[in-house]
């Protein structure tokens, strides 16, 4: 999720068992927007590079290096009160949400999910808005899932006969859906 402490607090209050992890890309973007909090560009660049390592690189396997990098961040901020205040408010008390060391599993970014939604929107539902939920489910069931399965199968063994059968089933399922929609449309016209 994006790095907004108020949103995280609201989620924690309403769903206490939720584990909230902030997207690493959004963490770094938020930091870039606050470069003016630092007394010099050089200090900001040092801070940004250390944070980038803490967010993406220094995971639980590199705990000592992560601790050393975090200590460097704190030392850097000791000489810059405005930047220190910003860090304390936004990052220090939310450390378990963004630091790679505490992220035991899962992705460090939600760009994967965002990319999937973009694919759905532009590849499977182009120029279509306000679809009924049953139409969305039919589209996902007949187009998205079969194409995903096909990609997986082709990656595993492109010459497999099952890949060909899956492709045929996907095509047949689409034809069946179109046939069913045609029947429904004709029956609606006959009723009126």
- For 107-150, how does the pLDDT look when each residue is reduced to its tens digit (9 = 90+)? 555 555 666 777 777 777 777 778 788 888 888 888 777 777 76
Does any domain span residue 51? yes
Q: Which tokens in the block code for residue 142?
A: 């007949």
d(CA 190, CA 179): 17
- Percent of the chain at pLDDT > 90 equals 12
Does any domain span residue 122? yes
The structure's pTM equals: 0.54
* Of the candidate ranges 30-39, 57-66, 113-122, 135-144, the one whose mean pLDDT is the lowest: 113-122
Alpha-carbon distances of 35 from 28, 46, 48, 88, 166, rounded to whole Å: 11, 11, 9, 15, 52
* Of the candidate ranges 3-7, 146-150, 172-176, the one whose mean pLDDT is the lowest: 172-176
Does any domain span residue 107? no
Residue 83 lies in domain: 5-102
Tallying the residues shown for the chain, one arrives at 192
Does any domain span residue 9? yes
Q: How many domains does the chain have?
A: 2
The phi and psi torsions of 128 (rounded to 5 degrees) equal -125, 120
């Amino acid at each position: 999720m994006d790095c907004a402490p108020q949103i995280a607090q609201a989620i924690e209050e309403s769903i206490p068992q939720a584990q909230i992890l902030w997207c690493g890309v959004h963490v770094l973007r938020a930091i870039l927007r606050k470069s003016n909090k630092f007394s010099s560009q050089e200090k900001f660049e040092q801070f940004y590079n250390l944070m980038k390592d803490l967010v993406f690189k220094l995971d639980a396997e590199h705990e000592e290096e992560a601790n050393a990098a975090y200590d460097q961040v704190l030392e850097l901020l000791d000489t810059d009160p405005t930047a220190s205040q910003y860090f304390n408010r936004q990052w220090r008390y939310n450390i378990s949400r963004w630091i790679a060391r505490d992220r035991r599993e899962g992705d460090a970014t939600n760009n994967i999910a965002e990319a999937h939604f973009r694919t759905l929107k532009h590849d499977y539902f182009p120029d279509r808005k306000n679809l009924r939920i049953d139409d969305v489910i039919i589209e996902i069931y007949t187009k998205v899932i079969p194409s995903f399965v096909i990609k997986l199968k082709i990656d595993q063994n492109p010459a497999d006969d099952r890949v060909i059968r899956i492709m045929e089933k996907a095509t047949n399922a689409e034809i069946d859906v179109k046939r069913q929609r045609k029947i429904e449309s004709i029956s609606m016209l006959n009723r009126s």
